[in-house]
Structure 1
Amino acid sequence: EDAIRQTVASPEFVKGAEHLGVRPAFMPAAQFGELIAKEDVAIARLMQVIGLKK
């Protein structure tokens, strides 16, 4: 995680990300995993509502 945190904070990475219209940010693995799990649930519900998932 430290290597990724340092990379995301580096001026070169920030400049490249901003050029692509992305705001760079770091999130620890455990926190990122929780975020993805919540988003998976929300997306699955949405897919059911619009008929893409039974």
Structure 2
Amino acid sequence: MAVPKRRMSRANTHARRSQWKADNVALQTVKIDGKEVQIPRRLVKAAQLGLIDVEQF
């Protein structure tokens, strides 16, 4: 991992961090109980097993 050679000022740190943006969660279309529902991929298995309520999505 790269290590800075000098201490970075608070203004530069905040300016760098402010450019970071999180991506929206990719939704996957899944058929559950005869209805097509779009849910995040990490929740597909739980939804198919009936562990979570898909009505909230």
Q: TM-score range by the shorter chain?
A: under 0.3
Highest Rg: 1 or 2?
Answer: 2
Report the TM-score, using the length of structure 2 for normalisation: 0.25
Structure with greater strand percent: 2
Report the TM-score, using the length of structure 1 for normalisation: 0.26
